[in-house]
Amino acid sequence: MAAYSECDVALMRAAIECAKKCASVDSAYNVGAVIADAEGEVLSTGYSRQLPGNTHAEQCALEALGALEERGMLASAGAALYTTMEPCSKRLSGNAPCVQRILAAGIQRVFVGTREPPNFVQCTGVAELEANGVRVVHIDAVEDECRQLNRHLAK
């Protein structure tokens, strides 16, 4: 049995479409995120630099939902986060890392398209989420598509 379903792949493809809205820059990744309830209903979306202040996709999706104020709602809805790249564990900008935001929001399942390359920082997002009881699932069926979103940073 696969660790993810066709619905999960569809939600990750929606995150990929969000990432395509990013304006590419040399100093950041293009990432898309979707937050969905247990039935696969999309609650919010986000993409890198969508909001002012060097914002990340997961941050934008959480802010769109008002997730920090809605922790109880997210947990009871069985909300999951779908992100095209591993959530950040460290930010050079000084902003709160997405891992901290996800944990604060009470999200218990995170689906990732690809791991974060070491271009900017050494990311430990998946390990930190798992260490805090969050189930992390890699959707390998879309990994190439997720990597292509950041071909502008290929070295």
Question: What gap in Å lies between CA 41 and CA 133, rounded to an integer?
Answer: 23
- 86 catalytic? Reply is no
Helix axes 98-105, 57-65, angle to 10 degrees: 30
Query: Exactly one of 17, 58, 86, 116 is catalytic; which is it?
Result: 58
Indicate if the alpha-carbon torsion angle 40, 29, 23, 143 is positive or negative.
negative
CA 56 distance to own-chain centroid: 8
- Rounded to whole angstroms, how far apart are CA atoms 44 and 61? 5
CB of 22 closer than 8 Å to CB of 30: yes
Name the residue type at position 66: G
Q: Active-site residues: which are they?
A: 58
